[in-house]
Homo-oligomer: A and B are copies of this chain.
Amino acid sequence: MSKVPASRVHLYDTTLRDGMQGQGMSLSATEKVRVVEALDRLGVQMIEAGFPDSNPKDLELFELLASVPLEQATIAAFGMTRRRDREAAEDPGLAALVGCFAPVVTLVGKTWALHLEVVTKVSRDENLAMIADSVRFCAESGKRVVYDPEHFFDGWRDDFGYAMACLDAAVDAGAENVTLCDTNGSSLPHEIEEGAAAVVAALEGRGASVGIHTHNDAECGVANSIAAVRAGATLVQGTINGYGERTGNANLVSILPALQLKLGYDCVPPDRLRLLTGTAHLIDEICNLAPDPSQPYVGRNAFAHKGGMHAAGVEADARTFEHMDPRDVGNEREILISELAGRGSVMSRAARAGIELDEDAVRRSIQQVKEREHRGYSYEAADASFELLLRREAGTYESLFRLESFRVITEKRADGRVETEATIKLWVGDERYTRTAEGNGPVNALDRALRAAITEQHPEIAEVELTNFKVRILDEHHGTASVTRVLLDSSDGAHDWSSIGVSENVIEASWEALVDSLEYAFQPRAEGAASAEPAGAVGDA
């Protein structure tokens, strides 16, 4: 495919406004500032921060943002057209918009007659006046105005003339951009392309650009955005990782590499595109979400190869089984361990960790993986435990301690108080340690007691921080005794790693993952061996 000549497409991020409509999404003002800074670094041109009048949290955000130095991004404030019964100059929402520091104001308004009739009960003419007055008021107050016609594509299907009249009202009143919204996510790419092309043609020479804002209800949010750009739109609104109400908004993380790498549009500087994976995962973390391992472009599995033929092909020539170079978006190839993988995968992981395996050790490792995966282990998401398994077979494993026994007690007393205490007896070298610790839960108490015993001889173990703890019950549908799988993410500040424990008992499974985490940190390593993922670069499963 020949690429079209490079032309400029602006990215407009609405993670902090529309993305926050997603289930369970909630960020403090300080966290939102971190998101803005990350988007600015990535090269996103416009960042919608919220509605400066909706609540104290958004007000605080705009106050903070006014003094945050940004490299290149412009902040947009979001609001609605004036109320039907007020002059624009007396509308408190519009006053908040023009009063805040943001250079761009994005106004949403109606375009679809059904909404005027059923939801707002405003006449068609009054709606046109509301659009024109509001845009003009903001523009005359010195703001750059983006106009978001809500439900544009539904309106276009029902009555293109009226939908276009709404856009004309906004453009004539001074909007620099109209961003066509597929608010319900009802449209498919060919419809978006047709509707956007019609608007681009109608607005030619009028001094306003066209943007696109889609949702993922038909699982076409990304394709719909691309279709609009191909039809002439030059601004794309979306959210990081596709956060948003219902099924989410259009995912900027997938739209950006498609536009820039596959279609040759100029969106962000190429060196910034390499921040994509890290940015997507960082914002997941700020939102307290686990990165989706299957996410296009940036997921841990996006360039993973499992089948034997694929893995072999990639070794020979990456183009054979990869649609792009993972490094261009800051991701990396991953060869997964699993029942389906063979010796090639085991050897490649061993080489990366600097472990030498002879023929017999490779065979035994494969056998071990198979047996343990059958029992519920999954090494795909547990690098650290997998490396320990290989070290044991290679004979280079060094044991940190030897457990004699532990006991954990949790009591909820008559007065409602809950107390947890762990006692542990173990040997480090020839020395026996008995330690008791309280904790805010059984794993925490065990962790404290264990480290109290170990760190006397190995103080470096104190650096290890447990960053995430996930529990899953396996086989719950099989009627047999269920098995608990614990995945533990750890970090020493420079690197992250994951370990796994499997047992009928959640305490025992947690213990196993905890021990693997600490033992992994303790193993001696050759300089330069890529034993763990760089911190923050790869999420968990």
Interface residue ranges, A against B (CB under 8 Å): 1, 21-24, 26, 114-115, 118-119, 151, 157, 183-186, 188-191, 216-224, 226-227, 230, 245-248, 251, 254, 258, 262-263, 285-286, 288, 293-297, 299, 301-307, 309-310, 312-313, 316-317, 319-324, 336, 338-340, 378, 380, 403-414, 418, 420, 440-443, 467-477, 481, 484, 503-508, 511, 541
With beta carbons under 8 angstroms apart, the residue of B285, B296, B484, B507 that contacts A477 is: B285
Q: How far is the CA of A116 from the CA of B476 in the complex (A)?
A: 45
Say yes or no: A506 contacts B443, CB within 8 Å: yes
- Residue of B whose beta carbon sits closest to that of A411: B407
Measured CB to CB, the nearest residue on chain B to A216 is: B296
Q: Which 9 A-B pairs have the closest CB atoms?
A: A223-B223, A186-B323, A471-B471, A219-B254, A440-B504, A441-B505, A219-B222, A184-B323, A410-B507
The answer, among B151, B189, B442, for a CB contact under 8 Å with A507, is B442
Cβ-defined partner of A410 (8 Å) among B26, B481, B505:
B505
Q: A1-B191, A245-B307, A442-B506 are in contact. List 19 more A-B contacts (CB 8 A).
A: A1-B157, A23-B301, A26-B339, A119-B320, A219-B222, A219-B251, A219-B254, A245-B304, A246-B301, A405-B411, A405-B412, A407-B409, A407-B410, A407-B412, A410-B442, A418-B505, A440-B481, A440-B505, A441-B506
Q: Are B23 and A223 in contact (CB under 8 A)?
A: no
Write the nearest CB–CB distance from A17 to chain B, whole angstroms. 11
**Given the contacts A184-B323, A245-B306, A380-B24, A406 and B414 also touching, CB distance less than 8 Å:** no
CA distance A469 to B320 in the complex (A): 42
Assess the A508–B26 pair: CB atoms within 8 A.
no
A215: nearest chain-B partner, CB-CB = B323
Are B223 and A294 in contact (CB-based, < 8 A)? no
Please measure, in the bound complex, the distance between the C-alpha atom of A336 and the C-alpha atom of B224, giving whole angstroms.
27
A13–B312 Cα distance when bound, in Å, is: 27
Name A290's closest neighbour in chain B (CB-CB): B472
In the complex, are the beta carbons of A220 and B223 less than 8 A apart? yes
Q: With A24-B380, A190-B230 given, is the CB distance from A477 to B288 under 8 Å?
A: yes
Contact B258 A313 (CB under 8 A): no
Complexed CA–CA distance, A420 and B484 (Å): 15
CB distance from A349 to the nearest CB of B (A): 15
Known contacts A186-B323, A188-B223, A223-B188, A118 near B317 by CB under 8 Å: yes
Q: How far is the CA of A307 from the CA of B21 in the complex (A)?
A: 7
Contact A220 B222 (CB under 8 A): yes
Complex Cα gap A414–B405 (Å): 5
How many Å from the CB of A446 to the closest CB on chain B? 9
CB distance A218 to B412 under 8 Å?
no
With contacts A294-B246, A405-B413, A507-B410 taken as known, whether A24 is within 8 angstroms of B338 at the C-beta atoms is yes
Report the Cα distance A391→B61, complex, angstroms.
Answer: 37
User: Does A441 contact B190, Cβ atoms closer than 8 Å?
Assistant: no
CB pair B226–A320 under 8 Å, yes or no, is no
Inter-chain contacts of A403 with B (CB < 8 A): 412
Interface contact B217-A23, CB-CB below 8 Å? no
Of B317, B323, B406, the contact of A412 (CB 8 Å cutoff): B406
Instruction: Let me know if B442 and A262 touch, CB within 8 A.
Output: no
Pair B467/A469 contact, Cβ less than 8 Å:
no
Cα distance A420–B507 in the bound complex, in angstroms:
9
Residues of B close to A406: CB separation below 8 A: 411-412
Instruction: Look across to chain B and name the residue whose beta carbon is closest to the beta carbon of A257.
Output: B218
Specify which chain B residues have a CB less than 8 angstroms from the CB of A412 in the assembled complex. Answer: 403, 405-407, 508, 511
Which residue from chain B places its CB closest to the CB of A378 in the assembled complex?
B24
Which of B317, B380, B441, B505 touches A420 (beta carbons < 8 Å)? B505
Contact (Cβ within 8 A) B320 A23 = no
A508: chain B residues within 8 A (beta carbon): 410, 412, 418, 441
Closest residue of chain B to A151 (Cβ to Cβ) is B320
- In the complex, what distance in Å separates the CA atom of A224 from the CA atom of B224? 11
* Separation of A470 and B223 alpha carbons in the complex (Å): 34
30 contacts between A and B (CB under 8 A): A115-B313, A119-B316, A119-B317, A183-B321, A184-B321, A186-B262, A190-B227, A216-B294, A216-B296, A217-B297, A218-B258, A218-B296, A218-B297, A218-B323, A219-B221, A219-B223, A219-B296, A220-B222, A247-B296, A247-B299, A248-B294, A286-B477, A408-B410, A408-B411, A410-B442, A418-B505, A440-B481, A441-B507, A441-B508, A470-B471
Q: Could you say which residues of chain B place their CB within 8 Å of the CB of A217?
A: 296-297, 302, 323
Contacts of A218 in B (CB 8 A): 222, 254, 258, 262, 296-297, 323
Task: Determine whether the beta carbon of B119 is less than 8 Å from that of A313.
Answer: yes
Say whether A302 contacts B247, CB under 8 Å: yes
Closest residue of B by beta carbon distance from A424: B412
Contact B411 A118, beta carbon cutoff 8 Å: no
Chain B residues near A1: list those with CB within 8 A: 157, 191
Contact B302 A21 (CB under 8 A): no
Cα distance A441–B251 in the bound complex, in angstroms:
41
Q: Which residues of chain B are near A302, meaning CB under 8 Å? A: 217, 246-247
